[in-house]
Amino acid sequence: MRKPSYIVVFKPVSDEQSEVLAAFCFECGAEGVSEDEDTLTASFPEHPENINEWDMVLSFCEENNIPITVRKQEWVNWNAEWEKNFQAIDIGKNIHVRAPFHNHSQKHFDIVIEPKMAFGTGHHATTAMVMKIMTEIDFSGKSVLDYGCGSGILSILAAKLNASSIIALDYDINSVENCIANFKLNSVVNGEVRHGDKAAIPDMNFDIILANINKNVILDSFSELSERLEKGAHLIISGILSEDIEKIISVANQFSLRLIKQNTENNWAVLLFSKNSV
């Protein structure tokens, strides 16, 4: 018999608060998240009070006066629910992200994602912002590290932008498996998927590093990421809130990283850095 899951309901929440809480819930191991008007509902395989990172959810809700309700529920196949409700999406002028059961798009970059629970379908503002800024950079012949690859969507776009080699890295084994499957769906032949955290970052330099994760992981990984950047190389960071921009820039400057561009959407931010040549 399948173990029951725990349903956590946040109500009322604004659209902005819902996005932040959804990201936090996935960091805490949520199996699924759904939004309905002023309500966010998340499913966990265990009681959230037993999850180490749950304190950040509690702190955010306390600061914003958001009530939390937890209830026990019999097991639900959240992957099946996610697949059933997955919608194709256009990002910018040239990118279309769809599932295998959607029709092929005439967009220049047609990306197929098997809709599992790995983060990265293009629907979240952070993923979309990174993809847009990627199209403004020359990837041709460049080596790429996708740090915290999730579904592999950013690596797939890098391949379509003619990167010469791609290493996709994630500590979550489900993401790794989903990324491998999505590489096959998109005929990515110059990409390698690896399982691990910052200790698994290859001992080699990259022309471009993509890091769409979260503030804490980014801050903890700055040294390793900076060391793996070629002089003049680019680092794209997202998964951070607008309020964290100054902190990220301050730390980046300590590692000779110069801010080139920043964009924000729905209180989320994407930052483009260049590694100083001197």
Please report, for the domain that includes residue 160, its CATH number: 3.40.50.150
Going by C-alpha positions, the residue among 167, 174, 133, 175 that lies closest to residue 151 is 175
Q: Residue 240 falls within a domain, yes or no?
A: yes
Same domain, 61 and 131: no
Residue 130 has pLDDT above 50, yes or no: yes
Same domain, 135 and 220: yes
Same domain, 248 and 131: yes
Burial 87-107 (b: 16+ CB within 10 A, else e): ebbebbeebbbbeeeeeebeb
Q: Residue 71 falls within a domain, yes or no?
A: yes
Q: Residue 199 falls within a domain, yes or no?
A: yes
Same domain, 72 and 205: no
Q: Residue 98 falls within a domain, yes or no?
A: no
Read off the pTM. 0.74
Burial environment of residue 259 by CB neighbours within 10 A (0 to 12, 13 to 18, 19 or more): middle
Name, in order, each residue with C-beta under 8 angstroms of 240's C-beta and a sequence gap of 6 or more: 214, 215, 218, 248, 268, 269, 271
Tell me the per-residue pLDDT of 200-220, one tens digit each, with 9 for 90 and over: 999 999 999 999 988 889 999
Output 200 or 107, whichever has higher pLDDT.
Answer: 200
Same domain, 168 and 259: yes
Q: Which range has highest mean pLDDT (78-87, 112-121, 244-253)?
A: 244-253
The domain tally of the chain equals: 2
Distance CA 47, CA 153 (A): 31
Tell me the per-residue pLDDT of 66-104, one tens digit each, with 9 for 90 and over: 999 998 876 666 556 656 667 788 898 899 998 887 788
Going by C-alpha positions, the residue among 39, 51, 47 that lies closest to residue 71 is 47
- By three-state DSSP, how is residue 238 classified? strand
Give the domain extent around 17: 5-76
Task: From residue 265, give the alpha-carbon distance in Å to each of 15, 16, 87, 160.
Answer: 12, 10, 20, 25
Q: Residue 221 falls within a domain, yes or no?
A: yes
Same domain, 166 and 259: yes
